[in-house]
Amino acid sequence: MAGSPEAAEEAEQGPEPPAGGAARRGKRAAPTAAAPQPAKLSRAELYKPPTSEELTQLKETEDLFHSSLLRLQIEELLKEVTLKETKKKKIDAFLHEINSLLSTIPETPETELTDQAWLSKDVKVPFLQVPFNVKGRFHFVPPAELKVVGSYLLGTCVRPEINVDVAVTMPREIFQDKDNLNQRYHRKRALYLSHIAQHLSKEKLFGSVRFAYMNSNHLKPILLLRPQGKDEKMVTVRLHACPDSGLFKPSRFHPSKNNVRTAWFMEQSTPKEGATEPPTPHYNNSILCDTVMLSHLHFLSNAATDFPGMKDGLALLKVWLNQRQLCKGLGCFSGFLVSMLVAYLLMKRKIVKMMSGYQVLRSTLQFLGGEMWMVCDLFLPVPTATTDLSVTGISLAKDADPSLPVLDDFHQAFEVVFVDPSGLVNLCADMTASKYHQVQFEAKHSMEILDDRMVDGFQVLLMTPKPMLRTFDHVFHLKHVSKLQGTCKKMQLLNELMDRGGNYVAAALPFVVSLLARGLSGRAQLVAHSMPQISEWPIDAEPPKHKDVGPLTFGLLFVPEFAASTLEKGPQADHPEALEFRTFWGEKSELRRFQDGSICEAVVWEASAVCQKRLIPEQIIRHLLKLHADIPESSICYTGALLESVIRTGKEASGTGEEAMVSVVCSYDDLSRKLWNLKELPLTVTAVQGVHPAFRYTDVFPPIPTKPIYSFHNRSKHLLLPSEEKPCPAYITPLKVICHMEGSGQWPQDKGAIKRIKAAFHLQLAELLRQQHQLVCRPAVTHTDVYKDGYVFRLQVAYHREPLILKEVVTPEGMLKYQDTEESRQLELETLHLPYLTSSLHGLQQQHPVFGSTSRLAKRWISAQLLSDSISEECVDLLVAFLFLHPAPFTPPSSPQVGFLRFLNLLATFDWKNNPLIVNLNTGLTDSDCTEIKNKFIAARSRLPVMFLATPKDQWSSMWTRERPSAQILQRLVLLASESLRVLEEQLMDPLSDQDMKMVFRPPLDFYDVLIHLNPNQIPRHLESVDRPVKSVSRGVVKNSSAVNILFPVVDYDPVQLYLQELRDAFDDLALFFYDKHGGEVIAVLWKPLSFQPQPFKVASMKGRKVTTLNNELVCVPNVEAILEDFEILGEGLVKTVEARTEKWTI
C-alpha cells in the first residue's frame, strides 16, 4: 500500500523484532537493562480515585469511540505518522545550511525578460513561456528573507512524505510596474528559481535538486531540495518564490479584474476595438496566494496554540484524504486546505480547543458531509444547518471590508468557494464542484461508518486505500488529453484558457465533468475525475507540457435502480424546455407517445441483454463527448465491463448468462407448482427447494435448454449413451431440487428402510409426472431426473427426521445416544443448510442485481487457477455476498467488474489467521452476536478451519470451509489474488497499452511437476474455456426448449472428472491434481514432497514404488516412470500426452 502509514516507519527505522519472539521459542527472554519494568505502586496509589482528566477520557471513550480499542488504535496510528524529534533536528540543520547557501548566490546583470542567455545551459526555465514575447526586465538579487511556512512549523506534517515549505522572498528591486500583467510576475518567479537551482545543483549538500509544479499548477513552479546520502528520502524542502509584502495593490486582483490581455495572449499586434477584457480570476488568485503565505502561517499557528487535538485531528484527516486519493494534483483537497477548514470550524465555534483529535476528525467530516454542528455540549453536538461550498461559500475574513469582493463575486468566478482570512484568496480556486462533491460524499459515508457499531471504523476509514478502480462502478479514461484543445474550441473557452495560462486540461475539465453529470443525472450519484498530476523533473529538462498529465480518469458511482434504464424521458413537445432537451441530446432525441397519452421528447438507448443495459452509461458518455466536446470515440477507453467476456455463454456475444438463469428459475417455479399439486401421492410435498447454483444466480455457465441428436448417440431402450466414435456429448448439468415430504407415523424409524421408502417415492414421482404432466422422467434409487423445457431437474426426496435417525448411536451398554456422523452431517448440509443458503442468496440477488455475475466471475477465476476442487462453490458465494452486505468503506458494487476486483482484494488482504469473516445474511446477527463469535473464534482458533466463515445459521462450525481449502491452498489463493489484482489494476489504469484482460485467467503452469494434456474432443465443456477454440466440434445437442417425448439425454457425464477421481483414488498419497473444470485442456500434477523421501522396504507399501539401495539398505522410492505410464493407461482416449517436467523433481 504505497503511501500507507504502516509502511512509513519501516524505511526509516528498519524492521522491528516481533514482540515476544523469545517467548515463542520456548525460552524466557532475559530482562535487558533498557527493558521497561512494571511500575510498583503503593496501595494508596492503586486505589486513588480517578482524576477529572481521566474521567473525561473515560466518558469520551464511552460516548465517541465504540470501544477503548478504537482509541488505542488511533493513538498508535498517530505515533506512526508523526515526525520523531531526532528527524526534526536533522531537518532543522539541513534548513540552516540552505539558508546560508541562498544568501551567497551572486547577482546577475539586468536583461530583458525574453533574453535568457545569462542562464546556464544546464538549467531550463520551469515555465511554459507561451507566447514567448513579453515586456519587462529581470535581474537576480539574493532573497530578502527566508521563512519556513506550512505544516512543518505547526507540527502537523505526516509521514511518509515529509515536505517542508520555505517561502523565499524576492526583493522589490527585481519588479517593475505592471508586473501583474501577462504572466510577467510568473516568469520572473520561474527565472528566480532557475538561478537558485543553477547554483544549488553544484553543492554537495544536496542529493537531488529538481523542479515541480505546486499541486500540478503550471503557473506555480517550485524547487525541490533533498539531502545527500541515506537521508535523501527523509525530507523534501520545497522553495516557493514570493513577492515582498505590499508590492501589489490587492484591488488589482479581485475575481472580476483582468490581468491577461487578449491581444498579448493571441499574439495580435493591436487589440480589437471596443472588446472588453474578460476577468482572469484563477490567474489573479495564483499571484495572491504567494502574497499571503506568511499571514496564513500566523493564522494557523494562532489556531493551533493550546489546542493539542488540532495536531492529532489534522494528522487523521490527512491520512483519511490520502487513502481516498484526494490530496494530490490540480484542485486537490490538500493538507493545507483541511488545516484552514479546521481553523474555520474553530473560529465558528463548531470545534473547541478542548476537543481531542478524534473529535476534530468527526466534526470536520460532519461539516464536510453536509451538516453544520453547533457545539452545545462537548459530547452532544446539535445540527443547525447544511453546507455546500459549491453553492454557499464560506469565508475566514472577520470584518466586512467594503473594498473586498463579496462571496457572490467569488461564486461567479469559481465552482467552489472558501475565502482566506485576507478576504482576497479563494483557497479552493482550482477545485471542481465534482471533486468537492466527492469529498462531501466520502465524508458523509465515513460518518455513517463511524456510527455503525458492526464495522471496524478505524480499519475501514484510515487503513483501507480506496483507488478509483475499486471505488467506482465504472471507470473510463480520456486517453489523449490533447483532444481537450478541440473541446476548448467547441465550447468557446478562450477566456478560461487565458485565465489558466493556456492549460487546456484545467480549462476544459470542469465543463466536461458538468456535461457528463447532466447527461447521467438520475443514473449516477457521483461523477468524479482523477486530478491532473505532473511529477517532478530534473532542472536540465524542459518543463512538462499540458498533455504530460497523461490520461484523465473518470469514475461513475451508480444509482442501481436507474443506471440501466433504456429510456431518457424529456419534457412535453410543446414546452419551452423541449428545445433545450433536443439541443442537449442532438439527433438521439425523438418525439414519442407514452401510455398516459402525453407526447414527449425522449431518448431510447438500444440494449437487449442485461449486460448491454449496464453499459448504457457508456453509450451516453461517448455520444455527449462527441456531440458537445468534440472528443472522438477512439480517445475514450471505457473499462466498465472488460472482464465479462470470460462468462459469456456460447458463441454469440449477446449476453453474459443472466437471461439464461432467469429462464431456468421460471422453469423451476413451474415444476415446483406441478410437484405441489400432484395427485395420488401417498404423502404430499410440503416444500420444494432448489439447491443448484443456478437457482441463486451464481452458476458460472448457466444451463442452456437443449435436445439431443439421436444419431450422435448409441441407444439403449429409452436412454441415449455416448458413442465411442464420436466426440464426448455436451455436458448437461442436473439441476438438483430437494422435495420435502410431509411427516407421518407411517415413516419407518430405520435408516435402511427410509432409503427404500425414498426410492419408492422417486419411482412414484416419475410415474405421476409422466401421467399427469407428460414429462420425460428417469427414476433412480437416490433421485429422479426430469426433462422439462430443455433442462434436466434432479429431484431428491427428503424426510425431515432422517438426519436425526442417522445420528442415533447405540453404546456398548445398550444406551441410545445422538451424535453427529459424517452421513448425518452431509444429509443436513444437502437438505437443510444448502436450501437455506440458496434462498438467502436468491434474495440478495433481488436486492443487488450484479451479485450473481460478480460471484460467477470470482468462480471462473478460481477455476481458471485450477483450484475449483480446493474450495467449495458455496464458500465463494458467501465471500462475494460479504462484499455486498458489508461493503465499507465502499458502497455495494453496481457492476460485476468492481465486485470482482474487491473480491480479489478481500482474498488478498483479509487476516484469515486472526479474524472470522462474518457474513450477516438477512441481518440475522446482532452486534453482541458478532462480538461473541469473535471471542469464541480466538479461544478455539487452533481447532477451526483456516478460512472461517460465520453466518446467522452457522455461527460456530464454518460448514462450507470445514474440509477445504487447506492452509497451503489458502496461501496459494491469497498469493494469486494479490498478484492478479496488481496486474488487473495496472492493465485497467493504463488505457494506452493494448493489453489482454484475460491474462489473469490463465494459470501459471511452471509451478507444477507434471502436465497431463487432454484430447479437446473428449472435453464436454470445451466451449467454456477462457480462450475459446476457434473451431468447435458438434456435441450431439441442439438448442431447444419445447421438445417433449424424447429419449433421455446423457446427463452429468464428464469423462475428465471421472478420470480425475480415478487419479485421486489411485495416487492420492503421492500427488495433488489440479484442473479447470470449465473446459481446461491440462491436468496439473504436484508431487507431495514427503512421498519422495525414501521409506523402509515393506511388501505392503509397494504401491507406485520401486526398491533401491541407499547406504547399503533396501528402501522404497516412487517409481515415477511407471506412474506417468499409469496416467496414460488410465486416461486412454482422453489423454493426449503426459509432459514430465523432470527438472522440477529429483529422486
Least confidently predicted of 27-31, 362-366, 672-676, 788-792? 27-31
Report yes or no: 27 and 33 within 8 Å, Cβ to Cβ.
no
Q: Is the peptide bond before 965 cis (omega within 30 degrees of 0)?
A: yes
Residues 1099, 1103, 1107, 1111, CA torsion sign: negative
Predicted local confidence at residue 651, as pLDDT: 56
The residue count of the chain comes to 1147
Q: Calculate the average pLDDT of the chain.
A: 86
**pLDDT band for position 1092 (cuts 50, 70, 90):** confident
Q: Are 286 and 219 in contact (CB under 8 A)?
A: yes
pLDDT of residue 58: 65
Whether residue 250 has a cis bond before it, omega within 30° of 0: no
Grid-cell match 464511552, residue found: 62
Q: Are 600 and 591 in contact (CB under 8 A)?
A: yes
pLDDT of residue 787: 92
Provide the pLDDT for residue 65. Answer: 55
| Lowest mean pLDDT, pick from 324-328, 948-952, 969-973 | 324-328
- Cα dihedral across residues 49, 52, 54, 57: positive or negative: positive
Cα end-to-end distance, the chain, whole Å: 42
Tens digit of each residue's pLDDT (9 = 90 or more) over 805-855:
888 877 788 788 888 888 888 888 899 999 999 999 999 999 999 999 999
pLDDT(14) > 90: no
> Residue 63: pLDDT band by 50, 70, 90 thresholds?
low
Residue 1029: pLDDT band (50, 70, 90) is: confident
Plot region of 1036 (φ>0 → left; ψ -120 to 50 → alpha; else → beta): left
Give the number of other Cβ atoms within 10 Å of residue 739's Cβ: 24
- Residue 1087, pLDDT above cutoff 60: yes
Percent of the chain clearing pLDDT 70 (strictly above): 92
Per-residue pLDDT band at 17 (split at 50, 70, 90): very low
Report the C-alpha gap between 217 and 872 in whole angstroms: 52
Local confidence band at 694 (pLDDT 50, 70, 90 cut-offs): very high
Q: For residue 227, give the 3-state DSSP assignment.
A: strand
Kindly give, in sequence order, each residue whose CB lies less than 8 Å from that of residue 384, ignoring residues fewer than 6 positions away: 372, 373, 374
* 518 vs 1119: which has the higher pLDDT: 518
Distance separating alpha carbons of residues 842 and 858, to the nearest angstrom: 17
Specify the residue for cell string 436468491: 842
Residue 23's pLDDT is what?
38
Helix H or strand E segment including 696: none
Beta strands in 1029-1094 (DSSP E): 1037-1039, 1071-1075, 1082-1087
Q: Is the dihedral of CA 996, 1000, 1004, 1005 positive or negative?
A: negative
Q: DSSP code of 890?
A: S
What is the arithmetic mean of pLDDT over 476-484? 90
Decide if pLDDT at 756 tops 50.
yes
Write out pLDDT tens, residues 88-125: 888 888 888 888 888 888 888 888 888 888 888 888 99
Cα–Cα distance measured from residue 906 to residue 913, given in angstroms and rounded to the nearest whole number = 14
Q: Provide the pLDDT for residue 30.
A: 40
Indicate whether 273 pLDDT > 60.
Answer: yes
Phi/psi-derived region of residue 582, left when phi > 0, alpha when psi is between -120 and 50, beta in every other case: alpha
**C-alpha closest to that of 1058 among 1086, 1083, 1087, 1024:** 1083
Residue 1035 has pLDDT above 90, yes or no: no
Q: Is 812 helix (H, G, I), strand (E, B) or coil?
A: coil
**Distances from the Cα of 98 to the Cαs of 204, 239, 618, in angstroms?**
12, 10, 53
Per-residue model confidence (pLDDT) at position 287: 92
pLDDT (0 to 100) of residue 62: 57
Residues 538-561 have a mean pLDDT of: 90
- Looking at residue 26, its pLDDT comes to 39
- Rounded to two decimals, the pTM is 0.90
Provide the pLDDT confidence category of residue 950 given band limits of 50, 70 and 90: very high
> 180-235 pLDDT, tens per residue?
888 899 999 999 999 999 888 888 888 889 999 998 888 999 999 988 877 778 88
Confidence of residue 802 (pLDDT cuts 50, 70, 90): confident
Percent of the chain with pLDDT over 90: 43
* Residue 136 banded pLDDT, cuts 50, 70, 90: confident
DSSP bridge partners of 688: 739
| pLDDT of 1146 above 80 | no
Which pLDDT score, from 0 to 100, does residue 7 have? 38
Average pLDDT, stretch 987-999?
85
Confidence at residue 822, expressed as pLDDT on a 0 to 100 scale: 85
CA distances from 934 to 337, 915, 950 (A): 40, 7, 10
pLDDT at 927 over 60: yes
Reported confidence tier of residue 37, pLDDT bands at 50, 70, 90: low
- Whether pLDDT at 3 is above 70: no
**Closest-CA residue to 768 (of 689, 683, 706):** 683
Least confident among 130-139, 375-384, 630-639:
375-384
Looking at the predicted structure, is the pLDDT value of residue 511 above 90?
yes
Among the listed ranges 267-276, 749-758, 781-790, which one has the minimum average pLDDT value? Answer: 267-276
Q: What is the DSSP letter of 951?
A: B
- Residue 1105: what residue type? R
Residue 202's CB is within 10 A of a number of other CB atoms, namely 10
Confidence of residue 1137 (pLDDT cuts 50, 70, 90): very high
Q: How many angstroms separate the CA atoms of 763 and 771, rounded? A: 12
Given a cut of 60, whether residue 380 has pLDDT beyond it is no
pLDDT, residue 18, reads 38
